[in-house]
């Protein structure tokens, strides 16, 4: 049963009724389109396939096997019921010791045990969303700003700004250098804020990147640390995709950088990490978010604030048991990387067969797809027109670059790890049909869903070097240049 508006918005607070949540965005509109017409193999084969959800469902069988073999880890089983009372009445917002120790150990393991994390600095929050808002509250006053490189996760507009009054000043990154964060771009953003009388309190980075699926190299991380120390502002590192790296180069945490010998003058009070198990383990429903700060005052303040978003002790108990199993964790991390690599290759090769390129990536649950050549003109309006066709006719929920504040129209984030192989193949068939029809200039009747149930195409399994492309298309991050697409 839905709620009927009675136009009593004036009875609510200005904060509750403003547009700070950011729902008026193609990113969220795509979700609504999926919710209204969700794809199902048998019940709704012509529905929208969800490719806008960065969810990791590739290793649930491993977790489920562990749960079955370790029933004592849950207080809701006969084997674990003897701990039901103790876990149920636990109220310490520091968290269960086993949980904090398990998370700290897992964070180190994900980073190749090249750095150690202190369990006493593990602060709980309601997912990464809660972690980011908590850090915003601790580090900035209303009206202050964080610098954030573009393109960036659309949810930051909500997580950082809605209830805190924080502003975001974009650091403009471009495809000409694969969206690398440069010192020039950092200085430019900082000066723009200064000229607008906006006080910059921090720099927020996502590593590995959402939506790019890339990792920051050591030199870039050192540049960032030098920049924030020079400006005396905070560095917030969102590392929630740390265990989704499936190919070289390996992930480098900010925790490793500040341990280097030449970083002795680094002010560690300015360094903070946001983490969660939503992406690396595929547990978004558990709402396990973490703030890890090297600043004692921030750690103490965040721990007090965590009362507003604690992880349930039932979840803490289960997670603590799971992450303390070294054999399971080792197997999970290896298998997860292998499955992500296989899925990434399957998807990018399928796109390449019709001349669709993407930014070269080695991490994350998505690719940054390049559809610039399909735009009638290089504008956000043209990108929006193309996105609406993909949503409403091709029936794929992909997210346009404009919702990620990308400065160049025509890029789209496409998620590939939240579905089974069969669904991914159907999505690729729809994309293939769409590109082929568009290149031929064939206009289908509005009501005919030619890229769905009527489609009988099968994807070719030929090698990439057998596909007819311009030579520079062999790079996975090149713009679209297939003869079929160029015909448009």
pLDDT tens track for 395-453: 999 999 999 999 999 999 999 999 999 999 999 999 999 988 877 654 444 444 444 43
What's the pLDDT at 306? 85
3-state SS, residue 205: strand
State the chain's mean pLDDT as an integer. 85
The burial class, CB within 10 Å (0-12 / 13-18 / 19+), for 372 is: buried
Q: Which of 122, 205, 240, 290 is the catalytic position?
A: 240
Q: Distance (Å, rounded) from C-alpha 253 to C-alpha 238? A: 10
Confidence of residue 9 (pLDDT cuts 50, 70, 90): low
Least confident of 25-39, 227-241, 289-303, 332-346: 25-39
- Does residue 307 surpass a pLDDT of 60? yes
What's the pLDDT at 282? 84
Least confident of 74-78, 344-348, 368-372, 410-414: 74-78
CB-CB contact of 168 with 160 (8 Å): yes
435: which residues sit within 8 A by CB, 6+ positions away? Answer: 354, 355, 356, 374, 484, 485
Instruction: Assess whether 153 carries a catalytic annotation.
Output: yes
Q: Which of 157, 159, 238, 370 is the catalytic position?
A: 238
Kindly report the number of other CB atoms within 10 A of residue 68's CB atom: 8
Instruction: Assess whether 356 carries a catalytic annotation.
Output: no
Selection from 60-64, 167-171, 446-450, 464-468 with the highest mean pLDDT = 167-171
Question: Which tops the pLDDT comparison, 90 or 364?
Answer: 364
- Does residue 1 surpass a pLDDT of 50? no
Q: Which of 279, 370, 426, 431 is the catalytic position?
A: 279
What's the pLDDT at 315? 87
Q: For 19-36, what is the mean pLDDT? A: 78
What's the pLDDT at 312? 80
Least confident of 93-102, 139-148, 291-300, 389-398: 93-102
Instruction: Assess whether 360 carries a catalytic annotation.
Output: no
pLDDT tens track for 458-488: 333 333 233 223 323 333 333 333 322 322 3
For the chain, what percent of residues have pLDDT higher than 70?
A: 88
Q: For 182-195, what is the mean pLDDT? A: 97
Least confident of 41-45, 232-236, 475-479: 475-479
- Cα 214 to its chain centre, rounded Å, is 11
What's the pLDDT at 479? 33
360: which residues sit within 8 A by CB, 6+ positions away? Answer: 178, 214, 475, 476, 477
pLDDT tens track for 89-98: 777 778 889 9
Q: Which of 153, 275, 292, 294 is the catalytic position?
A: 153
Least confident of 120-124, 141-145, 438-442: 438-442
Question: Which tops the pLDDT comparison, 189 or 459?
Answer: 189
Kindly report the number of other CB atoms within 10 A of residue 346's CB atom: 15
What's the pLDDT at 125? 92
Instruction: Assess whether 152 carries a catalytic annotation.
Output: no
Q: For 317-332, what is the mean pLDDT? A: 93
Polymer length of the chain = 488
């Amino acid at each position: 049963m839905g709620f009927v508006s009675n136009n009593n918005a004036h009875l609510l607070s200005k904060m509750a009724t403003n547009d700070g949540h950011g729902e008026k965005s193609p990113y969220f509109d795509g979700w609504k389109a999926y919710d209204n017409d969700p794809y199902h193999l048998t019940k709704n084969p012509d529905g929208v396939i969800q490719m806008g959800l960065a969810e990791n469902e590739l290793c649930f069988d491993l977790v489920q096997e562990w749960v079955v073999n370790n029933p004592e880890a849950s207080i809701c089983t006969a084997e674990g019921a003897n701990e039901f009372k103790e876990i149920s009445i636990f109220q310490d917002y520091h968290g269960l010791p086993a949980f904090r120790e398990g998370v700290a150990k897992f964070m180190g393991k994900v980073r190749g045990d090249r750095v150690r994390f202190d369990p006493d600095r593990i602060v709980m929050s309601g997912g990464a969303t809660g972690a980011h808002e908590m850090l915003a509250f601790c580090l900035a006053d209303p009206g202050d700003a964080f610098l954030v490189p573009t393109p960036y996760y659309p949810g930051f507009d909500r997580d950082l700004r809605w209830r805190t009054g924080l502003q975001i000043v974009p650091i403009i990154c471009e495809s000409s250098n694969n969206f690398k964060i440069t010192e020039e771009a950092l200085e430019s953003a900082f000066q723009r804020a200064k000229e607008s009388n906006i006080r910059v309190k921090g720099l927020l980075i996502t590593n590995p990147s959402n939506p790019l699926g890339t990792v920051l190299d050591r030199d870039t991380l050192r540049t960032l640390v030098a920049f924030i120390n020079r400006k005396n502002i905070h560095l917030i590192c969102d590392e929630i995709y740390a265990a989704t790296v499936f190919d070289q180069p390996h992930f480098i945490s900010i925790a490793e950088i500040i341990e280097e010998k030449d970083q002795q003058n680094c002010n560690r009070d300015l360094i903070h990490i946001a983490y969660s198990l939503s992406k690396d383990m595929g547990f978004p429903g558990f709402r396990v978010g973490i703030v890890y700060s090297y600043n004692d005052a921030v750690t103490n303040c965040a721990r007090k604030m965590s009362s507003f978003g604690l992880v349930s002790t039932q979840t803490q108990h289960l997670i603590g048991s799971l992450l303390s199993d070294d054999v399971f964790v080792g197997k999970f991390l290896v298998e997860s990387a292998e499955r992500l690599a296989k899925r990434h290759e399957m998807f990018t090769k399928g796109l390449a067969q019709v001349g669709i390129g993407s930014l070269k990536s080695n991490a994350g649950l998505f690719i940054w797809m390049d559809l610039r050549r399909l735009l009638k003109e290089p504008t956000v309006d043209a990108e929006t027109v193309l996105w609406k066709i993909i949503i409403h006719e091709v029936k794929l929920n992909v997210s346009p670059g404009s919702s990620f504040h990308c400065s160049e129209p025509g890029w789209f984030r496409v998620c590939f790890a939240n579905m089974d192989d069969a669904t991914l193949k159907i999505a690729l068939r729809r994309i293939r049909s769409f590109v082929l029809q568009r290149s031929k200039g064939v206009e289908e009747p509005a009501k005919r869903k030619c890229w769905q149930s009527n489609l009988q195409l099968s994807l070719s399994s030929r090698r990439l070097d057998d596909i007819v492309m311009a030579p520079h298309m062999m790079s996975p991050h090149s713009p679209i240049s297939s003869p079929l697409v160029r015909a448009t």
